[in-house]
């Protein structure tokens, strides 16, 4: 930092790592928590592991909607931080909470009344559809807690205080692992609820994480510094500003995850083992993705911050610095996974035959992760400029290509799922080309938020 109390960032490797490491850990712990849940479900039954593939991606759609709102808030908060206007940050935060609660209510109603109709019509196995519906009816109740929990990301990352993310993250992870084990298998005097036990555990964990992080924000004086709860009346002007940036991001992420639900529905047509393998691949993708996404979030925040400082000419060099770290870390991890895939796959408690069928898919997925390590940095840099409509346009073009590919490969020609997972190569290459072109064009320099 230029000064002790300054909210402005420096353009250095030290600053990048200082912001990215806590974000990475904050993302990694819940992902590890998610993988642990799937390990428990894998040991409970292959069917539970397979159904978790569909329910996990479905819930992830709503999680990403919240993440889109979070990204919009973060861009605004980072810009105000770069301008050294802390008095505006509390106003933006409080309005973000209001918007999040409205979206959560809509998500719950859609899941209870519309999702069952859709799932019963697109999933071939009626038993799988029934189990997925029952699970989601419980799981979706955690959405309000998740959204409020996500809003703290925008606040802490946007004001360069990402180190505090770890407290809520650890509380959530420990709670979820304990109650997963207790409810799925019926330990420590709790009833054996099985698959649905994972849904209850997740709700308890999300509430715990939300509660702990707000205690931290209050205890560290962050709440007082930014007057977080002094502007709780509805502010139409600020709400419009938030929605003008967040809405395209929400649609972008929702569309992206909806295409992934389409992917998993097509995978389900290939059988239970194919669905279970793909669920494990999503776990692996998420594990590596936490590191890449932390650098992407750092990039979005820092790009917005330095634009707020009037240093638009430094954006390109900043992006390249972030990519150099992100890609190097991903290369090391992906190399290790490819050297020892059996060890990683064995923890999910499946057969040797299952592991052999999964290894070719691991090769495909890890290469996609390398592509993601730099593509998502460019895309989030576009978000950091504040021009979220361009981000949405890039995503829509890419998703059209992605969906056309997976339909032809998995449904029309019914090829092996390893070919279906190559859709990730197409996805990340397309995102990179379009995002790189936009940043290089310089058209974002005239954008004011």
Q: Give the pLDDT confidence of 283-306 residue by residue, as tens digits.
A: 788 777 888 988 998 998 899 889
Cα 3 from Cα 40, distance rounded (Å): 48
Answer whether 382's CB lies under 8 Å from 444's CB: yes
pLDDT at 29: 61
Record the tokens describing residue 137, joined without a space: 């009816």
SS (H, E, C) 90-148: HHHHHHHHHHHHHHHHHHHHHHHHCHHHHHHHHCCCHHHHHHHHHHHHHHHHHHHHHHH
- Report how far apart, in Å, the C-alpha atoms of 300 and of each of 141, 380, 385 are: 30, 5, 8
Residue 162: which residues within 8 A CB-CB, separation 6 or more? 19, 20, 22, 23, 26, 156
Task: Give the pLDDT of residue 432.
Answer: 97
**Comparing C-alpha atoms, which of 292, 369, 383, 305 is closest to residue 15?**
305
| CA-to-CA dists, residue 332 to 94, 95, 329, angstroms | 41, 41, 5
pLDDT at 3: 40
Give me the pLDDT at residue 260, please. Answer: 84
- The distance of Cα 155 from the centroid of its chain, to the nearest Å, equals 17
Per-residue exposure over 376-389, b if at least 16 CB sit within 10 Å of its own CB, e if not: bbbbbbbbbbbbbb
Torsion from C-alpha of 243, 248, 251, 256, nearest 10 degrees:
-140
pLDDT at position 6 is 63
| 112-149 tens-digit pLDDT | 999 999 999 988 888 889 999 999 999 999 999 989 88
Do the Cβ atoms of 371 and 327 come closer than 8 Å? no
- Taking the C-alpha atoms of residue 427 and residue 433, their distance in angstroms, rounded to an integer, is 10
In degrees rounded to 5, what are phi and psi of residue 71? -65, -40
Stretches where the chain sits below pLDDT 50 are 1-4
DSSP letter at 312 equals: G
Residue carrying structure tokens 């197409």? 426
Could you report how far apart the first and last alpha carbons of the chain are, in Å? 23
Q: Torsion over CA of 80, 85, 86 and 89, rounded to 10 degrees?
A: -40
The pLDDT of residue 322 is 96
């Amino acid at each position: 930092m230029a000064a002790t109390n300054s909210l402005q960032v420096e353009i250095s490797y030290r600053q990048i790592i200082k912001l990215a490491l806590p974000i990475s850990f904050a993302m990694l712990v819940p992902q590890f928590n998610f993988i642990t849940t799937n390990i428990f479900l894998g040991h409970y039954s292959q069917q539970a592991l397979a159904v978790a593939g569909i329910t996990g991606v479905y819930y992830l759609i709503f999680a990403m909607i919240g993440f889109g709102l979070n990204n919009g808030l973060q861009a605004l908060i980072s810009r105000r931080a770069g301008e050294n206007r802390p008095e505006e940050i509390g106003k933006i935060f409080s309005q973000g909470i209001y918007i999040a609660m409205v979206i959560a209510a809509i998500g719950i109603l859609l899941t209870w009344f519309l999702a069952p109709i859709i799932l019963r019509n697109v999933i071939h196995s009626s038993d799988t559809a029934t189990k997925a519906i029952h699970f989601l009816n419980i799981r979706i109740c955690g959405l309000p807690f998740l959204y409020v929990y996500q809003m703290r990301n925008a606040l802490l990352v946007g004001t360069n205080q990402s180190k505090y993310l770890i407290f809520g993250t650890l509380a959530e992870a420990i709670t979820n692992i304990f109650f997963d084990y207790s409810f799925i298998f019926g330990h420590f005097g709790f009833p054996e609820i099985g698959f649905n036990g994972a849904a209850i555990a997740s709700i308890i964990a999300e509430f715990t994480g939300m509660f702990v992080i707000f205690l931290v924000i209050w205890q560290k004086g962050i709440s007082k510094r930014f007057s977080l709860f002094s502007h709780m009346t509805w502010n139409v002007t600020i709400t419009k500003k938030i929605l003008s940036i967040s809405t395209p991001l929400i649609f972008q992420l929702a569309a992206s995850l909806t295409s992934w639900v389409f992917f998993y529905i097509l995978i389900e047509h290939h059988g239970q083992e194919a669905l279970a393998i793909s669920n494990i691949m999503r776990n692996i993708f998420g594990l590596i993705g936490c590191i890449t996404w932390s650098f992407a979030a750092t990039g979005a925040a820092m790009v917005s911050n330095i634009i707020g400082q009037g240093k638009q000419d430094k954006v390109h060099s900043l992006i390249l610095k972030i990519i150099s770290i992100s890609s190097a870390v991903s290369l090391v991890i992906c190399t290790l996974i490819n050297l020892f895939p059996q060890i990683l796959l064995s923890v999910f408690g499946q057969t040797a035959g299952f592991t052999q069928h999964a290894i070719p898919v691991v090769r495909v997925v890890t290469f996609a992760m390398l592509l993601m390590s730099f593509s998502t940095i460019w895309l989030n840099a576009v978000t950091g400029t504040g021009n979220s409509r361009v981000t949405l346009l890039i995503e829509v073009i890419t998703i059209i290509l992605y969906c056309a590919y997976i339909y032809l490969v998995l449904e029309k020609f019914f090829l092996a799922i390893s070919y279906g997972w190559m859709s990730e190569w197409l996805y990340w290459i397309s995102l990179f080309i379009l995002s790189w072109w936009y940043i290089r064009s310089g058209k974002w320099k005239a954008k004011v938020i």
